[in-house]
Amino acid sequence: MTIETVRVELGDRGYDILVGSGLIGRAGQFAAPLLAQKRVIIITDRHVARHHLDALLESFKRADIATETIILPAGEQTKSFTELESLCDRLLAMKVERHTTLVALGGGVIGDLTGFAASIVLRGIDFIQVPTTLLAQVDSSVGGKTGINTQHGKNLIGSFYQPRLVLADTDVLDTLPKRELLAGYAEVVKYGLINDPAFFTWLEGHGAAVITGDPVARRHAIITSCQAKAMIVGADEREAGQRALLNLGHTFGHALEAECGYTDELLHGEAVAIGMVIAFDLSARLGLSPLEDAARLRRHLASLGLPTDPLHVQGRNWSATRLVEHMGRDKKVKDGRIGFVLARGIGQSFTPAYVDLAEVETLLESTIAA
């Protein structure tokens, strides 16, 4: 298959997202014209290194680019102050220079952490994203949001800092467990729910093929998602307006993740899937959206095996009050009020929607008691 290019238009900071097969094996070729110095430091985690590091190293070797590697622990808990400090110390010990480029080889955790380190080490150095999960390819690697988690919430410390290039190699998705693929698929569905009802309808017919690995379906889903995000980021890089729509389901999802301690008990994409259902349920409860649209979303996610309510996490006693407290720390809070992303129907999301939190808590209580 040919390589497709999606451009993120940000003036002199714009960059390409390349989507196609075999891109890791050609990473050196694509990166070389962008490097100010023929030296890169690859940052990855133990799981990804086992599958893809050798091929990436070889591609840079063929392009006569010097490489060094830092391998971090896998998992959401790596997005922490401790790991950020350790990473920055290791980069400085390697005598990183302002013309050195970092390469993030991994999922959203590695991409977010590497991008944040790139934005602060020596007051800013270049980095390239090589996302290895579906979630990272369609969402976290694009748009320049970087950051870490804290005890107060997810991604509350970070920066907007754009990569120089994104290489979305569709072949790497074949090594992902189904649970990880489904978690990424939740972010694909999000683009249909925001402003593309035709894409959501397409997903209803082809979502199973995306998950099982049909190359045409998977490629279409990734390219459509990247095009949607590139358009929004190009118009609103720092989330002053329409980019906030990309947080559909995330206010609820982040609260669920925080309650689970950012562990594998609930993956980010799983939390987003549940959060999107809650957002549509709330929209219907407020009379904004048809009940059938909320039911349609729930049916589609459940048909593929994605969770649709917090009770998916077994053995946990949820508290609606605690979940609302977590939401109060959301980045979108303004003057003490949460600006929710809600919907008037599939493909008709809007924000900010200021809702009486008692109404939200009542909905959550009914959801966790179901």
**Residue 123: active-site member:** yes
pLDDT class of 357 with cuts at 50, 70, 90: very high
* Active-site choice (219, 268, 300, 326): 268
Query: 259-262 long-range contacts, Cβ below 8 Å, gap at least 24?
Result: 259/316, 259/318, 259/319, 259/322, 259/323, 259/326, 260/313, 260/316, 262/76, 262/77, 262/79, 262/149, 262/154
Residue 336: the pLDDT is 82
Residue 369: the pLDDT is 85
**Residue 154: active-site member:** no
pLDDT above 70 for 114? yes
Residue 276: the pLDDT is 98
Rounded CA gap, 217 and 188, in Å? 12
**Residue 239: active-site member:** yes
What pTM value is reported for the model? 0.95
Q: Under 8 Å CB-to-CB from 172, ≥6 apart: which residues?
A: 24, 51, 52, 132
**Residue 247: active-site member:** yes
**265-317 pLDDT tens trace:** 999 999 999 999 999 999 999 999 999 999 999 999 999 999 999 999 998 99
Query: In this structure, how many other beta carbons lie within 10 angstroms of the beta carbon of residue 352?
Result: 14
**Residue 250: active-site member:** yes
* Active-site choice (154, 254, 300, 326): 254
Residue 122: the pLDDT is 98
Residue 153: the pLDDT is 87
**Residue 83: active-site member:** no
- The mean pLDDT value for 66-72 works out to 98
Rounded CA gap, 209 and 276, in Å? 22
- The mean pLDDT value for 54-77 works out to 97
* Active-site choice (237, 239, 257, 259): 239
* Active-site choice (229, 298, 300, 326): 229
* Active-site choice (250, 298, 300, 326): 250
Best mean pLDDT range from 9-13, 149-153, 331-335: 9-13
For the four alpha carbons of 130, 111, 113 and 263, in that order, the dihedral sign comes to negative
pLDDT class of 370 with cuts at 50, 70, 90: low
Domains delineated in the chain: 4-175 (3.40.50.1970), 178-203+239-369 (1.20.1090.10)
**176-209 pLDDT tens trace:** 999 999 999 999 999 999 999 999 999 999 999 9
* Active-site choice (76, 187, 237, 259): 187
The per-residue pLDDT of the chain, averaged, comes to 96
Tokens of 23: 């891109």
* Active-site choice (145, 219, 220, 298): 145
32 exposure class (CB count in 10 Å sphere: 0-12, 13-18, 19+)? middle
- The mean pLDDT value for 226-254 works out to 95
**122-174 pLDDT tens trace:** 999 999 999 999 999 999 999 999 999 998 889 999 999 999 999 999 999 99
The 3-state secondary structure of 5-60 reads EEEECCHHHCEEEEEECCCHHHHHHHHHHHCCCCEEEEEEEHHHHHHHHHHHHHHH
Rounded CA gap, 28 and 9, in Å? 23
* Active-site choice (52, 164, 180, 247): 247
Residue 332: the pLDDT is 76
pLDDT above 90 for 3? yes
Residue 105: the pLDDT is 98
**Residue 145: active-site member:** yes
Query: In this structure, how many other beta carbons lie within 10 angstroms of the beta carbon of residue 89?
Result: 10
pLDDT above 90 for 331? no
pLDDT class of 329 with cuts at 50, 70, 90: confident
pLDDT above 90 for 54? yes
Residue 1: the pLDDT is 59
